[in-house]
Chain A
Amino acid sequence: MSREPTVFVVDDDAAVRDSLRWLMDSVGLRVAAYPSGEAFLEAITPDRPGCLVVDLRMPGLDGLEVYQRLREKGCGLPVIIVSGHGDVPVAVRALKSGVADFVEKPYSDQELLDCVKEALRRDTEQRVHKVRHEEIATRFGTLTPRERDVLHLVVEGLANKAISANLGISLKTVETHRARVMEKMAAGSVSELVRMAMIIENQGKPLPY
């Protein structure tokens, strides 16, 4: 699978679908277009970067449903829902449920392209973030239980002496563990170690012991 970002277009109207392909192509974006939400969901995998432009009103799955199924599949792809006039209540619902953007027809091509570029930027950022998180988690996985204890106390700001007292081990042993933690986590300083701990915690899960 290619790692180049793709704009996925889902619209039941052949002309709209085709014209979006032209528009994206004109600014050098890769496009993959599908006539229905079902066809798109069949083809998409979480590792594909890009964003989704989907029409709200379609026979079969509508735009919001495609969004929900996408999330159920574990795809974090940013979603832009295109709607007709007068779908304000649906728009509100969409924004509340976390859809990236909502574009009302008739739209200007620049407006849509801006939305797409913003969505792609966010996708890249999310993916970078995700890669970083995975790296840190991998490193964290190599720590022994005792080293994790030390890491937690270091992050809480305890001095070596206090850690030694807290864990009931010698100061020397604490220093050894601490050096191993810094090395395994590839942390240049304590503040860097704290940031890594926060990245893992920010994912909503407590640090595993």
Chain B
Amino acid sequence: MTLTRCLPLLLACLGGSLAAAEPLPITIGVLSHRGDEATVRNWGPTADYLSSQLRGIRFEVLPLEFQAVEPAVAEGRIDFVLVNSGMYVDLEVGHGVTRIATLNNRHAGRSYNTFGGVLFTRADRGDLTALASLRGQRLAAVNRVSLGGFQMQWREMHAHGIDPWRDLAGIDFANTHDAVVRRVLDGRADVGAVRTNILERMVEDGTIDADDVRIIAPRPAGDFPLRISTRLYPEWPFAKTRGTPNELAQRVAVALLQMPPDHPAALSGHHAGWTVPLDYQPVHELFQDLGIGPYSQPGPFTFGDVLDKYRGIFIAGGLMLLVVLGMSARIIHLNTQLERAKSGIERRFELILDAVGDGVSGVDTDGMITFVNPEMERLTGWSADELIGRPQHDLLHHSRADGTPYPRSECPVGATFRENRAHHVDDEVFWRKDGTSFPVEYASSPIRDREGAVLGAVVVCRDVTARKAAEEAQRRHVTEMAHVARLSTMGEMASQIAHELNQPLAAITNYTGACVRRLQVGRDDPGPILEALQLVSAQAHRAAQIVRRIRDFIRKQEPGRGPIDLNDLVRQTSLLVAPEARANRVGIVLDLADGLPAVVGDGVELEQVIMNLVRNAIDAVSHNPRNARRVTVRTANEGGNVHLSVVDNGPGMDESTLREAFTPFYTTKVSGMGLGLALSRRIVEAHGGRLWAETNPDEGATLSVRLPADQEKRDVA
């Protein structure tokens, strides 16, 4: 043992009585997906590294199983958390954790910060090749919330119409990647799901033989060096929990970013240091696709769904009723016993309502509350006694979200029994006793008697604060990403823009130079001088226009929505990209339809979409012979929709490019983030439209956008 290693021990012994003075260690909770021992071995050195970088602070690693992560964060037992990207997104929305760095992974001497999932089988299972062949097979996966060890593969199966819960023979969650691999090799499972680089690492350390396993449905992944069956996602983030001071988080982030790729801590973690936190949008999309994590929502629900959901309880209740009825038939004369049984049934139905996780209340045809369950009391802050017998609308529903009065005549609950049909609402608020409100999704169904006459309504409601917050965070995120992408687009175009600005500046220089020289030699006839000054003014205006167009484009703004003339946007955009088109000698043809209806949306973001499509097209044709580089932007009115297409005569897109074009980080270009098309599609979809790519039958490719026309404008027209 060296002196430097002894010293702290020595100090610790001496300081035994001073133990209280030593600060509590800072805890890094680490997902222990390959077992606790491996976790401490892999990440302990990172904690040591941080302790050495941030003097006076001691860091330690706490291995956490999948199920233990969320409680540890919720109870504030850890200061930093290092988990997979999926759990991170969940914790971000649910517990306010914030990423401060993203892992750079290492393989074969290269570093990269994305990863994916692998589906594999034993090499001798020749019957398992495509995703479709997984039906009826037994799957070993890491954990229900493992991103690379289950959810990514789930998304690919989902995309191929396979529901793993229904169509597979079964799913075993083995909890660690190594256990998944063992189960497949043992034959206890047919197929395994692990993250990329697990198989490669196990081959490297000799645990398995490369010929033992075969990848199912392998995907080409550009220059991603590992075998993969799914899309790519950003690597694990290092995140701070809500209670951790920002100042500490900043110091940790700086220390992590400064960790050299070949530092012993990086080597033992099998990674290549850390990078600035990435965009976790692809993970959000996965969750949205699968309707899990922060996006879990069973969709519109009805009282019927509640019955369905709590079927067991209802069946039990129903059976009890039958038993009681049988008894009552046999011992009808024992009235007291019957009474007791009846109250038992009532009690049981009460228990059912108590057990329901949604708020349930009954309303009679006068709008008075007849019953509520405890969840309803919890949601509204009113007790059952305060609610029952009082008007539902006036108590819970008196104002809209913006605080304006909500007339009783417009209340959907009232409409339920007036119109004798169910109403589903997901964009209103309920008001609590303390005067606050919460966003609510509710279903109001009529209650009818045996003859079908309406007695009132049952309202089943749910607090959707968390879901709305996730949606809002998501929307803000797209806006921010869009802004960053606009800045980066302008950066790429900087030299063309400089050229464009140089034209009016050169003209101004020349005109003013001419005036000065004429005046110097006495050619001071005011006519020509005046004319030249007017020309100067026009050129100054031209320069100002260019600056304004750029400023409008990169402006960071709150998403605004208004009627937009797509033809105007196309003309604006073509002016912005004109210098780049000229530099690449590409002719841009505008073929714009007359009388195009407006669309509703955010002009800056839609302009960004058009810009992105046109710049991609310019890029696509830039290898054509010089006089055959053509990009056409066309708009058309298609009954209720506005259609925009960008047609190029480049090489077109091959099958794999067509499939991958909209995947984040996918790019065939040397420069650029590879986010353009993915982001464009998100923007278009946020406008209720569609964006798709096709290869043209003759030459080149067409990117098309379809947006719904503005209803009001069309009606006027």
Q: A86-B498, A106-B509 given as contacts; is B535 within 8 A of A13 (CB)?
A: no
Residue of A nearest to B520 (CB): A26
Q: For B535, what are the chain A residues with a Cβ–Cβ distance below 8 Å?
A: 15, 18-19, 22
Residues 5-41 of A, flagged 1 when their CB comes within 8 A of B and 0 if not, give 0000000010110111011011100000000000000
B514 on the A face (CB < 8 A): yes
Query: A24 to nearest B CB, angstroms?
Result: 8
CB distance from B322 to the nearest CB of A (A): 86
Partner of A19, one of B498, B499, B506, B583: B506
Query: Do the beta carbons of A19 and B502 come within 8 Å of each other?
Result: no
Size class of the B contact interface (CB-based, 8 Å): 20 to 34
Q: Which residues of A contact B509 (CB under 8 A)?
A: 19, 106-109
Distance (whole angstroms) from the CB of B585 to the closest CB of chain A:
7
A16 to B535, CA, bound (A): 11
Residue numbers in A under 8 Å from B628 (CB-CB)? none
Distance between A131 CB and nearest chain B CB, rounded to angstroms: 32
Query: Contact between B505 and A23 (Cβ–Cβ < 8 Å)?
Result: no
* Minimal beta-carbon separation of A189 from chain B (angstroms): 46
Contact between A19 and B511, CB atoms less than 8 A apart: yes
B574-602 interface (Cβ within 8 A of A): 582-583, 585
Nearest CB of A to B558, in Å: 35
From B498, B513, B539, B583, A23 is in contact (CB under 8 Å) with B513
Chain B 494-513 interface residues, beta-carbon cutoff 8 Å to A? 495, 498-499, 502-513
State which residues 12-29 of B face A: CB under 8 Å.
none
B514 touches A19 (CB 8 A): yes
Q: Which of A26, A85, A86, A105 contacts B513 (CB 8 A)?
A: A26
Q: Is there an interface contact between A84 and B502, defined as CB atoms closer than 8 Å?
A: yes
- Across the interface, do B583 and A57 meet the contact criterion of CB distance under 8 Å? yes
Cβ of B542 under 8 Å from chain A: yes
Residue in B502, B503, B517 whose CB lies within 8 Å of A26: B517
Q: Considering only CB atoms, which chain B residue lies closest to A111 in the complex? A: B509
B378 CB within 8 Å of chain A: no
CB of B219 closer than 8 Å to a CB of A: no
> Once the chains bind, are A85 and B503 in contact (CB under 8 Å)?
no
Contacting pair B582 A15 (CB below 8 A): no
Complex interface: chain B residues within 8 A of A86 (CB): 495, 498
Give the chain B neighbours of A82 by CB distance below 8 A. 506
Q: Once the chains bind, are B507 and A18 in contact (CB under 8 Å)?
A: yes
**Which residues does chain A contribute within 8 Å of B502, judged by CB atoms?**
84-85, 105-106
Chain B residue at smallest Cβ distance from A15: B507
Nearest residue (CB) in A for B586 is A59
A106 in contact with B514 given A19-B535, A84-B499 (CB within 8 Å): no
Q: Does B518 contact A (CB under 8 A)?
A: yes
Interchain pairs with CB closer than 8 A, number: 80
Asked if residues A85 and B539 are in contact (CB atoms below 8 Å), the reply is no
Task: Tell me if A84 and B513 are in contact (CB < 8 A).
Answer: no
From residue 505 to 555 of chain B, which have CB atoms closer than 8 A to chain A?
A: 505-518, 523, 532, 535, 538-539, 542
The interface residues of chain A lying within 8 Å CB-to-CB of B498 are: 84-86
**Are A25 and B507 interface neighbours, CB within 8 A?**
no
Asked whether any CB of chain B lies closer than 8 Å to the CB of A110, the reply is: yes
How far apart are B406's CB and chain A's nearest CB, in angstroms? 60
A57 and B582: CB pair below 8 A?
yes
* Smallest beta-carbon distance A40→chain B, Å: 19
Most buried by A among B502, B504, B508, B542: B502
Complex CA gap A25/B511 in Å reads 11
Q: A23-B514, A26-B518 are in contact. Are A16 and B499 (CB under 8 A)?
A: no
Contact with A22, one of B506, B510, B542 (Cβ below 8 angstroms): B510
Q: Which residues of B are found within 8 Å of A109, using beta-carbon distances?
A: 509-510, 512-514
**Is the beta-carbon distance between A15 and B517 smaller than 8 angstroms?**
no
Please name all residues of chain B whose beta carbon is closer than 8 Å to the beta carbon of A16 when the two chains form the complex.
503, 506-507, 510
A59 partner residues in chain B, CB cutoff 8 A: 582, 585
Q: Considering only CB atoms, which chain A residue lies closest to B512 in the complex?
A: A109
Asked if A22 contacts B532 (CB within 8 A), the reply is yes
**Alpha-carbon gap, A13 to B578, bound state (A):** 13
Most interface-central of A20, A57, A84, A85 (chain B CB within 10 A): A84
Contact with B along A95-129 (1 / 0, CB 8 A): 00000000001111110110000000000000000
Contact B499 A57 (CB under 8 A): yes
Residue-wise interface mask of A (130-157) relative to B, using a CB-CB cutoff of 8 A (1 in contact, 0 not): 0000000000000000000000000000
- Nearest residue, chain A, Cβ from B500: A84
Rounded to whole Å, the gap between the CB of B24 and the closest CB of chain A is 56
Q: With A19-B535, A85-B499 known to touch, is A25 a contact of B514 (CB < 8 Å)?
A: yes
Closest residue to B542 on the A side, CB-wise? Answer: A15
Give the complex CA separation of A13 and B535 in angstroms: 14
Taking a contact as CB atoms under 8 Å apart, the answer to whether A85 and B495 are in contact is yes
- A110 → chain B closest CB, angstroms: 7
Residues of A within 8 A of B582 (CB): 57, 59
Chain B residue nearest to A84 (CB atoms) is B499
CB < 8 Å: which of B505, B517, B585 contacts A105? Answer: B505
Q: Which residues of B contact A27 (CB under 8 A)?
A: 517
Q: How far is the CA of A20 from the CA of B539 in the complex (A)?
A: 14
Q: How far in angstroms is the closest Cβ of chain B from A85? A: 5
Closest-by-CB residue of A relative to B508 is A19
CA distance A146 to B489 in the complex (A): 76
A169 to chain B, nearest CB (A): 65
- Nearest-Cβ distance from residue A117 to partner chain B, whole angstroms: 13
Chain B positions within 8 Å of A84 at CB level: 495, 498-499, 502
With a 10 A CB-CB cut-off, give which of A22, A25, A57, A82 has the most chain B CB atoms: A22
What's the least CB distance linking B242 to chain A, in Å? 47
A20 is contacted by which of B510, B523, B583 (Cβ under 8 Å)? B510
Q: Which B residues are CB-close (under 8 A) to A19? A: 506-511, 514, 535, 539
A64-104 with Cβ < 8 A to chain B: 82, 84-86
Tell me which of B505, B516, B583 contacts A106 (CB under 8 A).
B505
Which A residue's beta carbon lies closest to that of B498? Answer: A85
Q: B523 to chain A: which residues have CB within 8 Å?
A: 26
A26-B518, A84-B498 in contact; A107/B511 too (CB < 8 A)? no
A37 to chain B, nearest CB (A): 13
Bound-state Cα–Cα, A22 to B529, Å: 10
User: How near does chain A come to B496, taking the closest CB pair, in angstroms?
Assistant: 9
Query: B residues within 8 A CB of A113?
Result: 513
Question: In the complex, A23→B528 CA distance in Å?
Answer: 12
Asked whether A15 lies within 8 Å of B539 as measured between CB atoms, the reply is yes
* A106 x B506 contact (CB < 8 A): yes
Chain A residues with Cβ below 8 Å from B514 are: 19, 22-23, 25-26, 109
In the assembly, what is the distance between CA of A184 and CA of B502, in Å?
58
Chain A residues contacting B512 (CB-CB under 8 Å) are 109
Q: Which residues of B contact A57 (CB under 8 A)?
A: 499, 582-583
Q: How far is the CA of A113 from the CA of B510 in the complex (A)?
A: 10
A-B contact pairs, 15 of them (CB 8 A): A16-B506, A16-B507, A19-B506, A19-B514, A19-B535, A20-B510, A23-B514, A27-B517, A59-B582, A85-B502, A106-B506, A106-B509, A107-B509, A109-B512, A109-B514
17 further contact pairs, Cβ within 8 A, besides A18-B535, A19-B539, A106-B509: A15-B542, A16-B506, A18-B507, A22-B511, A23-B517, A59-B585, A84-B495, A84-B498, A84-B499, A86-B498, A105-B505, A106-B506, A107-B509, A109-B510, A109-B513, A109-B514, A113-B513
Which 10 pairs of residues, A with B, have the shortest CB-CB distance? Answer: A109-B513, A19-B510, A84-B499, A22-B514, A26-B514, A26-B517, A19-B507, A105-B502, A15-B507, A23-B510
What residues make up the interface of A, taking CB atoms closer than 8 Å to B?
A: 13, 15-16, 18-20, 22-23, 25-27, 57, 59, 82, 84-86, 105-110, 112-113
